[in-house]
Structure 1
Amino acid sequence: MTERHLGRLIEDTDGALSLLAALAESFRTVEEQTTSFQSQCDDLVSEQRRLQTLADEVGTDLHYYGYLDNATRRLNAPGAGSLADTEELSEILASLDSCIHFMAHHKEYRDSESYLARYQALLTKSLHLLEVGLTARLEKVSTELSKQIAATNSDAAQHALAYGRFEELLVDGSYSLVPNVQQVVASAYTQPGAARTNHQSYSIYANTANNIFRTYLQWRDHSLRPIVQKELDAFRNDAKDSKATSAGYSAVETASRRLIKQTFERSYQEVLLFTKVFAVDPQYSANTNSVFGTLRAYRSDLVNAVNVAPLASLLQTALGATNDLSTVCNVLGWVTHEYLLLDLDEDDTNQDNASDGNEEDGSPSYLAAHSRQMAARLLAEHLWLFADALFEAEIAKSITKFPIAPEALKIVPITDGQAASNAYPPVRRAIELLSMFDQAMPKERCQSNSSVVFKIVKEAISALQRAELRIKSAHMSTDPDLFLIKNLLILKNELLSLEIGDIRNDGTGTGAMQHFGQIWDALSLATNLVGYFSTFIPGQSLWSRATGAVAGSAAAAATAAGSGYASVSGRAASAVGSITGSVPGSSIAAMLPGGPAAPSVSDLDVSEQLDEALRRSINAFTQRWGNLIYEGSSRKLGGKNVAKLERELDDLLQTAFSNQPEVATKLKEAIQNVAQAGGAQQSDTKANRV
């Protein structure tokens, strides 16, 4: 029984093992089939993903093609003009920008060029709708306000209507019109007004933005004309009123100052309004594609955010009618000192406010910065050139064409202690013109190859040379060399006093020859050796040595003579230069008129020409009088004429330099050296013969 039971167990076990083996074989077969199926499924999933990605890309690309019909229907639908004041126009512009960008960067796609042209046409049409909408609103607002402005005589009320009410009706009264305009302007220009030339549709946006700017300026002229016309009438009346003087200023000068302040303040208000309407601040730029260049190119007889030409035209007309060069210089000097020469503390305050981002909040610092820019442009672009022309006309009239009269060629005693009181009239006029030019101009402009300063000195030297020839040809009693020395020293001393442009009162009096020692040192290294060396080196003299060293010494003397004013003049240059410091690649050098190419140094350096004329005159005078004294003291004459010659020499020097004893002393020392050198030469000649 046990054996049978165990046998059945063995049989059952064998059956179970057979079943398990069959199951294992089945599982192996299923596993093989499942692995193959899983691989096929993975391939299908990957293919599905690839197709989905491809479908998305095709759908996206088809969107850029399909949007054409939608945009065309919306822009051509009845009432499309109302889009200008809706947010939908902003979305349309953004979508058209995307489509244009896509077509421009996928030129290999089918019909991309055709679609690009059609999208650009739709963009132009949508921008035209915006332009028409803004024009209509400007016309409505300006027409309404013009009537109200003309109906009131209150300046405060007119200002409130022209700016506060105008901004309220145009900016605050629109739903999306002004934001849409700002979006268009931002697509063409940066916030400071630089052109976004890298934008795909820059030319289209820029054309619309410029049209909008011009339309805006035209309607602003329409609104402001009653106000500005009243100010212009008041200016013309004040300028013609000969009795209207204030604090010693002429009527024209007082009226010009008032007009300049009014114009700068109005331009400042226009800048603020322009910034609020278009969200762009037109910073100075020499690029004609900038907002500044567009506004500057707009021709109008009224002031706007950047235009100074109307102000310059009015000032030139009024100042030119006075025929008074000093009045012109006073106005130019006032503009320079009022707006360009600011205190250092004020400069620092302005820079701090600008760095805090407050330059557009109507703060006094922003008003000062804008006024400085307007003043610099008014001077550099208009008034400086106008003043130069007046100076050149005055030079030709009073110096170049001055008639030579015998009375003017005499050396008369000095009056009132003024060294220039007995100067030749053209020299006196040259000094006056130099002083006026210095008062009217920043120091840097007087020193940097100024054609006016050059012409004044050049023509004064020429006038003196013509007078010298007349003295010699007429055999007048006037000593021609002393005549030249006297007048050339006065002219040279004035140039050193001004530093070719800088006037200072050092307490010695305007008539003192305070720089004579520097002039003498610049002309000669060793005065007591002049006559001695000139007798041994015929035709050579320390007085006619190379002009390079002399010019360097004279320049050093001039610098030492007036370094106290350098800080003020330096601030003038920095004030002008900081106007466009925030604009990349711009500087005030681009604003200032460069004029023609600078001539060579020998043609332009009047200081060297003046020094050379002085050396020749002093050398001729000292040589001639030294020889006369030597011959008078020779054994042939027994020294009988020496006292007479010395008295005559003293009289000449006293008449010419009565209040400048140092000049007479130096000349007498040089003459004595020449006389002594003559005696030494004769002794050496006898010794050589022996």
Structure 2
Amino acid sequence: MYEDSWYSFVPEVQQQRKRGASLSHGHKRKESLLQQPNEVGQNAKVEPLEELSEDELDDSPPEPTLTRRVKSCSDFYGAAKAQVYQEDSKRTGGRRQPQRRQACTIEALDIPDAEAALLVDDEPLLSLYQEDELLEASQQKYSLYHDQLAMTERHLETLLQDTDSALKLLASLSESFEAVEEQTSSFKSQCDDLLSEQQRLQTLADEVGTDLHYYAYLDNVTRRLNAPGAGRLVDDDAFGEILDNLDSCIAFMTKHSTYRDAEQYLARYQALMTKALHLLEHGFTSRLDKASADISPKIAASKSESARHALAYGRFEELLSESYSLLPNVRKVVLNAYDEFGYARLGPNFDVYSNTVNSIFQAYLSVRDRDLRPIIQKDFDAFRTEAKGDSVEPAARNLIKQCFERSYSEMNLFSRIFSVEPQYNSDATSVYGVLKSNQRSMVNPVNIIPIANNLQTALQPVSLQTTCDVIGWAMNEYLSPDYDDDETGFSRHCRELTARLLTEHLWAFTDAAFETEITKTIAKAPLTPETLTIGPVTNGIASSNAYPPVKRALELLILFDQCMPKERCQRSSPVIYDLLTNTLAVLQRAEARIRSLRSATDPDLFMIKNLLLLKNELVALEITSISSSIPPATAAGGGMQHFSAIWDSTLSLTSSTAVMGFLSGLSSYIPHWRNPSPSPSTGGKDNAGEKDASERLDDLLRQSIFGFTSRWGQAVFDARTKGKGVDKVEKELEDLLQRAFAGQGEVVGKLKEAVQASATALGESKRDSKTRGTRVGSRG
């Protein structure tokens, strides 16, 4: 395109005039560019006109040039002058003319000098030229401008025509594109449909190819597992891939049972899975036998405990690990059946995997038992020899510690080999249940039967106190401490084994020992006359003058509380129930014998004395435990420290009615010892079994107190009525109570108060009866 100079070309015409001093103060208005100077210097020299260089003039349009863009409206005049100067320079070929400014001023007239143009040889200059030539010469510059403008107009018209043509072409193209788009819309829709169909077919082909993979894999895996050297696959990484692929194929055939021949392929894949797992089991068993053949003779020949431990655990694990991928493949199969904590992963192939894993576990335990049984048997024989003497308790402690350490070592080895920790679980399908079911193996991380059998054999002939000491030590050593958050694995394992050892074996064994002792020393205690008395209290011990079976019952209560947790000493313990029922039966027989012999012993006071001791001990065991450092006799007879709570829980004994209600609320202070199972001989109709042992104790105590206070209240009332012997009766009552309850002033005071209340109640009853008789006589 053309520059702006083509359209806004203004020639630069400037005339420099000499201004006088008189014109310097005007309005400075610019003069016309065509006005001739009206003054001529006096000293100006007149020179002849130069020849017109018409040959050098070129009427062709000038070359397009880049005109300097004006900065503002005031700068437009300067830009025009610069453009004219540039064009003149091109036209003259770059020749510099003298007095350029004056020449440019009158260039339109072709006069070289304005001052010398007035006269040439004393003739007028205008007469030398023709009028047409002057006009042509004066308008030559403007003709050039006219031609340039005409050419610019032609260019603009050409541009307009080209623009119109381009717009018409674009409109035509737009119409063509619209037509093409209308024609190709249906084609595009068809193409989209074809692409969608192609995608569907491709997806279908992929699915079909995937499904065919589950069918085509059968031949490959059949050749690999039936090859002559298939047994070596279990020591290769490819065996794990085979198991994964068989798993996938079995799951696919199970899910798509409607596919063609799916049942047949499923049966064949399951058979191949069983064969692969059998190869793995055989390979692992061979590795176990090889390791056993290496370490077994060395263990038997070694005399050092540390050397045997290093061979049995460190060297054995090292020999099993000397393979490429046998142990990883075994762990993979184990983890397909169980998680890392030993819980069963129930799935479509759980039965197949679990059968193989259980067989592997059985083989492992058999090898370990075969290698270590001689050493463990030797330790058990040493324990039996040591337990024959008086050191049964330390021997039992050493055996428990030794077995717990070995069990923990075996559990760690088992966890490292199979990547499964056999945590306690009651589910028979778990790893713990599988190991627990194998009771024949002595070297088993969860089997405690060998320990329990040896301990029970050693504790069978010893005293009940020794048995309770062993049971109490195990409970306090491993169950009682409060472990912090940083509990070690060994302490956790020992606590678990101790809990199982006690709950499954030793507690039942101890209960049987207590029942035997109760039957021997309480239920079958002889009734001799010398034992049916109330002797004096010795050394301030309240139970020192108790009935011997009751005294033994108190000792057994304390002993049972010391070796058992509180949960087993409360509510439905069969030992406590048998102890209470047999003690109450013995006391009733003793009371009946005292009454039949008519001895000097007060039968009611005899019952009160022994029943209060028994009840006080029951309350003490319910509220707090007895310290094991206190001897049983001292702890039982130091005093009736809970008598106040027992007595205050009842109504005040101020009347005979209150005496009858004595101890009515005491049953809440002691456990309700119910018979855990009705007597089979009575068909569940036994009265002793239907009523709580605590209620029976309360009834007997209430009856004895009522009988004692009523009889002595009657004696006091009779002495008061006769008016003599009151002091003698009260003195006799005081001596009797002091003999039975020496040092127990609270008990003596309460019983005396009850006797006085009974005597007062009898006096009131007599007065009321007389008053009623007088009223009846007056009416008659």
Query: TM > 0.5 between the two?
Result: yes
**Paired residue for 1:265?**
405
Q: Which segment drifts farther, 221-230 or 479-488?
A: 221-230
**Paired residue for 1:578?**
none
Identify which of 343, 359, 368 aligns with 2:491.
Answer: 368
Identify which of 706, 729, 734 aligns with 1:650.
Answer: 734
**Paired residue for 2:324?**
175
CA 1:651/1:673 → structure 2, altered by over 3 Å: closer, same or farther? same
Cα deviations by residue, 1:546-571 (Å, 9 ceiling, x for unpaired): xxx43235679xxxxxxxxxxxxxxx
C-alpha displacement of 1:87:
0.9
Cα distance in 2 between the residues matched to 1:333 and 1:468: 36
Instruction: Note if 1:283 corresponds to 2:423.
Output: yes
**Paired residue for 2:698?**
611
Instruction: Note if 1:458 corresponds to 2:569.
Output: no
The CA RMSD over aligned residues, in Å, is: 2.9
Corresponding letter in the other structure for 2:743: N
Cα distance in 2 between the residues matched to 1:301 and 1:21: 99
Pairing of 1:56-135 with structure 2 (within 5 A): 56-135=206-285
SS at match of 1:447: coil
**Paired residue for 2:485?**
348
Query: Given that residues 193 and 292 in structure 1 are in contact (C-alpha distance below 8 angstroms), is that contact kept between their aligned partners in structure 2?
Result: yes
SS at match of 1:633: helix
Identify which of 308, 313, 316 aligns with 1:158.
Answer: 308
Query: Given that residues 652 and 658 in structure 2 are in contact (C-alpha distance below 8 angstroms), is that contact kept between their aligned partners in structure 1?
Result: no
Pairing of 1:380-399 with structure 2 (within 5 A): 380-399=503-522
Query: When the two structures are aligned, how many residues end up with a matched partner?
Result: 594
Q: Which segment drifts farther, 509-518 or 123-132?
A: 509-518
SS at match of 1:503: coil
**Paired residue for 1:542?**
661
Corresponding letter in the other structure for 2:231: G
CA 1:273/1:25 → structure 2, altered by over 3 Å: closer, same or farther? closer
Corresponding letter in the other structure for 2:640: M
Corresponding letter in the other structure for 2:226: N
Identify which of 515, 523, 527 aligns with 2:642.
Answer: 515
Cα distance in 1 between the residues matched to 2:472 and 2:425: 26
Cα deviations by residue, 1:351-383 (Å, 9 ceiling, x for unpaired): xxxxxxxxxxxxxx1111110011001001110
Cα distance in 2 between the residues matched to 1:663 and 1:32: 119
Q: Which segment drifts farther, 594-603 or 390-399?
A: 594-603
CA 1:87/1:597 → structure 2, altered by over 3 Å: closer, same or farther? farther
**Paired residue for 1:563?**
none
Cα distance in 1 between the residues matched to 2:176 and 2:513: 117
Query: Given that residues 570 and 671 in structure 2 are in contact (C-alpha distance below 8 angstroms), is that contact kept between their aligned partners in structure 1?
Result: no
Cα distance in 1 between the residues matched to 2:535 and 2:698: 24
Query: Given that residues 532 and 677 in structure 1 are in contact (C-alpha distance below 8 angstroms), is that contact kept between their aligned partners in structure 2?
Result: no
Instruction: Note if 1:48 corresponds to 2:175.
Output: no
Cα deviations by residue, 1:224-257 (Å, 9 ceiling, x for unpaired): 2132122112211211134xxxxxxxx1111000
Corresponding letter in the other structure for 1:429: R
**Paired residue for 1:627?**
714
SS at match of 2:486: helix
C-alpha displacement of 1:106:
0.9
**Paired residue for 1:248?**
none
C-alpha displacement of 1:277:
0.8
Pairing of 1:85-484 with structure 2 (within 5 A): 85-170=235-320, 172-197=321-346, 199-242=347-390, 251-300=391-440, 302-322=442-462, 324-343=463-482, 346-350=483-487, 365-484=488-607
Cα distance in 2 between the residues matched to 1:597 and 1:284: 34
CA 1:647/1:601 → structure 2, altered by over 3 Å: closer, same or farther? closer
C-alpha displacement of 1:405:
1.1
Query: Given that residues 519 and 554 in structure 1 are in contact (C-alpha distance below 8 angstroms), is that contact kept between their aligned partners in structure 2?
Result: no
Cα deviations by residue, 1:502-524 (Å, 9 ceiling, x for unpaired): 214899965222111122223x2
Identify which of 636, 641, 652 aligns with 1:526.
Answer: 652
Cα distance in 2 between the residues matched to 1:210 and 1:165: 24
Q: TM-score if structure 1 supplies the norm length?
A: 0.81
Cα deviations by residue, 1:154-186 (Å, 9 ceiling, x for unpaired): 00100111111111111x322211111111111
Q: Which segment drifts farther, 33-42 or 422-431?
A: 33-42
SS at match of 2:724: coil
Cα distance in 2 between the residues matched to 1:212 and 1:21: 87
Cα distance in 1 between the residues matched to 2:594 and 2:385: 51
C-alpha displacement of 1:44:
3.7
CA 1:632/1:532 → structure 2, altered by over 3 Å: closer, same or farther? farther
Query: Given that residues 438 and 500 in structure 1 are in contact (C-alpha distance below 8 angstroms), is that contact kept between their aligned partners in structure 2?
Result: no
CA 1:51/1:463 → structure 2, altered by over 3 Å: closer, same or farther? same
SS at match of 1:348: coil
Query: Given that residues 253 and 331 in structure 1 are in contact (C-alpha distance below 8 angstroms), is that contact kept between their aligned partners in structure 2?
Result: yes
CA 1:45/1:416 → structure 2, altered by over 3 Å: closer, same or farther? same
Corresponding letter in the other structure for 1:91: E
Corresponding letter in the other structure for 1:649: L
Cα deviations by residue, 1:313-341 (Å, 9 ceiling, x for unpaired): 1100100032x111110000001100001
Corresponding letter in the other structure for 1:347: D
Q: Which segment drifts farther, 84-93 or 603-612?
A: 603-612
**Paired residue for 2:611?**
488
CA 1:26/1:487 → structure 2, altered by over 3 Å: closer, same or farther? closer
Cα distance in 2 between the residues matched to 1:506 and 1:521: 31
SS at match of 1:347: coil
Identify which of 671, 677, 680 aligns with 2:761.
Answer: 677
Corresponding letter in the other structure for 1:389: A
Corresponding letter in the other structure for 2:374: P
**Paired residue for 2:748?**
664
Larger helix proportion of the pair: 1
Q: Which has the higher contact order (CA 8 A, sep 6+)?
A: 1
CA 1:678/1:32 → structure 2, altered by over 3 Å: closer, same or farther? closer
Cα deviations by residue, 1:9-50 (Å, 9 ceiling, x for unpaired): xxxxxxxxxxx9999999999877766655554444433332
Q: TM-score if structure 2 supplies the norm length?
A: 0.72
4+ aligned runs moved over 6 Å, structure 1: 20-33, 505-509, 594-602
Cα deviations by residue, 1:175-203 (Å, 9 ceiling, x for unpaired): 21111111111111111111111x22111
Pairing of 1:544-623 with structure 2 (within 5 A): 545=664, 549-552=665-668, 603=690, 605-623=692-710
Corresponding letter in the other structure for 2:598: H
CA 1:106/1:604 → structure 2, altered by over 3 Å: closer, same or farther? farther
C-alpha displacement of 1:300:
2.1
Corresponding letter in the other structure for 1:516: F
Cα deviations by residue, 1:451-504 (Å, 9 ceiling, x for unpaired): 101111111111101111111122222111111111111111211222288214
Corresponding letter in the other structure for 1:61: D
Cα distance in 2 between the residues matched to 1:618 and 1:283: 57
SS at match of 1:414: coil
Q: Which segment drifts farther, 600-609 or 44-53?
A: 600-609
CA 1:407/1:601 → structure 2, altered by over 3 Å: closer, same or farther? closer
Structure 2: stretches of 5+ with no match in the other structure: 1-169, 775-780
Cα distance in 1 between the residues matched to 2:175 and 2:727: 153
Cα distance in 1 between the residues matched to 2:547 and 2:393: 31
SS at match of 2:498: helix
Query: Given that residues 300 and 310 in structure 1 are in contact (C-alpha distance below 8 angstroms), is that contact kept between their aligned partners in structure 2?
Result: no
Cα distance in 1 between the residues matched to 2:689 and 2:307: 62
Query: Given that residues 400 and 451 in structure 2 are in contact (C-alpha distance below 8 angstroms), is that contact kept between their aligned partners in structure 1?
Result: yes
Query: Given that residues 571 and 671 in structure 2 are in contact (C-alpha distance below 8 angstroms), is that contact kept between their aligned partners in structure 1?
Result: no
Structure 1: stretches of 5+ with no match in the other structure: 1-19, 243-250, 351-364, 535-540, 557-593
Query: Given that residues 409 and 471 in structure 1 are in contact (C-alpha distance below 8 angstroms), is that contact kept between their aligned partners in structure 2?
Result: yes
Cα distance in 2 between the residues matched to 1:293 and 1:473: 62
Query: Given that residues 447 and 501 in structure 1 are in contact (C-alpha distance below 8 angstroms), is that contact kept between their aligned partners in structure 2?
Result: no
SS at match of 1:499: helix
